[in-house]
């Protein structure tokens, strides 16, 4: 992940997004800004459809199209301003990359995502990389299983 993106305030993030748009010869639009703003203020990982419906409800006057949401999310991910978790045929869920590093627990039944950090895991990853002659430039850990709500008979 691009370390200069972490923990930016929204104005700085918007400035970076406008730079990415210029580099890709794309126009800045209020619709694109609202996509970024919705992700920034969001407390969950959004599918493109969830983001579209949230924006349509909150900003009906903007007339945002689902194709704009998909294209903007792809641009944000390609420019490392956003990250995604793939759910196979169910698609991706997105979040901005401005959060401090964290890993994910993902429920295979309901799709619930729990973010967590664990310094001992981070140290072990560095140790494993060093033992194998690697210099880590980033990583993504996703642990799959069943959340406590979906696994009630096994807990």
In CATH, what number is assigned to the domain containing residue 30? Answer: 1.10.10.10
Confidence category of residue 108, pLDDT binned at 50, 70, 90: confident
16 is in an annotated binding site: no
44 is in an annotated binding site: no
What would the two tokens of residue 23 be? 């580099």
pTM: 0.75
Instruction: Reply yes or no on whether the pLDDT at 89 is more than 80.
Output: no
103 is in an annotated binding site: yes
Name the 3-class secondary structure at 134. coil
41 is in an annotated binding site: no
User: Among 108, 102, 69, 72, which Cα is nearest to 90's?
Assistant: 108
Give the CATH number for residue 112.
Answer: 3.30.1490.190
122 is in an annotated binding site: yes
- 8-17, 85-94, 105-114: least confident range: 85-94
CA-to-CA distance for 142 and 88, rounded, in angstroms?
14
Confidence category of residue 139, pLDDT binned at 50, 70, 90: confident
pLDDT at 3: 41
Q: Check if the beta carbon of residue 95 is closer than 8 Å to that of residue 42.
A: yes
CA-to-CA distance for 140 and 34, rounded, in angstroms?
27
CA-to-CA distance for 9 and 25, rounded, in angstroms?
24
11 is in an annotated binding site: no
Q: Check if the beta carbon of residue 113 is closer than 8 Å to that of residue 106.
A: yes
49 is in an annotated binding site: no
Instruction: Reply yes or no on whether the pLDDT at 103 is more than 70.
Output: yes
Has residue 34 been placed in a domain?
Answer: yes
CA-to-CA distance for 60 and 67, rounded, in angstroms?
16
**Mean pLDDT over each residue of the chain, to the nearest integer:** 87
As for how many domains the chain has, the answer is: 2
């Amino acid at each position: 992940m691009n370390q200069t993106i972490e923990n930016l305030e929204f104005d700085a993030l918007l400035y970076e997004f406008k730079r990415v748009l210029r580099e890709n010869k794309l126009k800045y639009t209020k619709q694109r800004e609202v996509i970024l703003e919705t992700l920034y203020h969001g407390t969950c990982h959004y599918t493109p459809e969830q983001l579209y419906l949230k924006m349509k409800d909150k900003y009906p006057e903007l007339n945002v199209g689902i194709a704009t949401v998909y294209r903007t999310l792809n641009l944000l991910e390609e420019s490392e301003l956003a990250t995604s978790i793939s759910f196979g045929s169910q698609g991706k869920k997105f979040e901005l990359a401005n959060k401090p590093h964290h890993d994910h627990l993902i429920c295979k039944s309901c799709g619930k995502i729990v973010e967590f950090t664990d310094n001992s895991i981070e140290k072990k990853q560095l140790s494993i990389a060093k033992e194998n002659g690697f210099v880590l430039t980033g990583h993504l850990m996703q642990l799959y299983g069943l959340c406590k709500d979906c696994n009630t008979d096994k807990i």
